[in-house]
Amino acid sequence: MSQISSMLTRGTAKYFQPDDPRKTDDVIQKRLAFLVGLVAFGLPVILASGAVFGGSCFRDSISHFYYAQFLGTVFVGLLIFIGGFLIAYTGDHWLEDVGSFIAGIGACFVAIFPTSGSGCEAPDSFLSRVFATIDQTIPPSVANPAQDDLFILFGDAEHLHTYAAALLFAYLGLYCLIVLRRVVPERHERGGEMIPTKQKRNTLYAVCGLTILACVFLLGAVSLLGSEDFLRAWNSANLTFAFETVALWAFAVAWFAKGRKIARLNDPQP
């Protein structure tokens, strides 16, 4: 019990330890960590700006921007970038590599298997990408699908999307809470005491991780327990988009610190 308490308060000095404790992240991985954080921070900003200033519909969630004509390509491309990084990421422990690989696959699934529904209940009309059956007649014509079919790739696509998103965000939260907060004595201790910059980073990582997991829990609870009237009011305020943005920004801040782009949190040179 004391080991669990110590791990939660200061980070683990026992689990997820690197094979070579003297080796630190190389320059390329630090740069990529910063870029991934930048993409995570910028994704909701780009989508929201495009919706507001581009005259597009402001979708209920980040995932619903899949159906936006131009912004859908941005959404898919940036998520695939994050997924590709996580798949290729090399950590200090084999479990880190496996978890990152699975989360990367999850990010790619979120990108290529869309959620269902347009996410645009308010406006009477809007531009959107849809799934339609094309009849190759002369001239070509579009079959007359049911309304819901316009925003469904196939029957289980939305479930794959939801499971993958939950997996991705859960991993990101746990990664901040456990892996980023580990204490490698050779790197992070001087005279048996954790150095102040590592203490500050661990506090930041804990806040980021708990924020991500809290957002995941809240969005899951709303989806499962919310009444129809509550969900209508929730979506009209774009609150799913807002909490997904908070989770992505928490992830971004953690990876800015991991990429050593927050100067006051960087360790002094030995």
pLDDT tens for 211-222 read: 999 999 999 999
Residue 238 lies in a domain: yes
Q: State pTM to two decimals.
A: 0.82
How far apart are the C-alpha atoms of 173 and 105, rounded to whole Å? 16
How far apart are the C-alpha atoms of 229 and 115, rounded to whole Å? 21
Span 258-263, average pLDDT: 84
Domain enclosing residue 53, as ranges? 23-132+148-182+192-265
Residue 89 lies in a domain: yes
Residue 141 lies in a domain: no
Sort residue 190 into left (φ over 0), alpha (ψ -120 to 50) or beta: beta
How far apart are the C-alpha atoms of 48 and 42, rounded to whole Å? 10
165: Cα separation from own chain's centroid: 8
Look at the block and give the residue holding tokens 């939950």. 166
Per-residue model confidence (pLDDT) at position 13: 66
Residue 201 lies in a domain: yes
Res 116 pLDDT > 90: no
Average pLDDT, the chain: 85
CB 70 within 8 Å of CB 54: yes
Per-residue model confidence (pLDDT) at position 127: 78
DSSP H helices in the chain: 2-10, 27-53, 71-88, 94-112, 157-174, 185-188, 196-225, 228-236, 239-258
How far apart are the C-alpha atoms of 247 and 166, rounded to whole Å? 12
Tens-digit pLDDT profile for residues 167-214: 999 999 999 999 888 888 887 888 888 888 889 999 999 999 999 999
Residue 60 lies in a domain: yes
Res 41 pLDDT > 80: yes
Tell me how many domains the chain contains.
1
Tens-digit pLDDT profile for residues 232-241: 899 888 899 9
How far apart are the C-alpha atoms of 52 and 41, rounded to whole Å? 18
Residue 252 lies in a domain: yes
Residue 108 lies in a domain: yes
Residue 14 lies in a domain: no
Least confident of 67-71, 131-135, 253-257: 131-135
244: Cα separation from own chain's centroid: 8
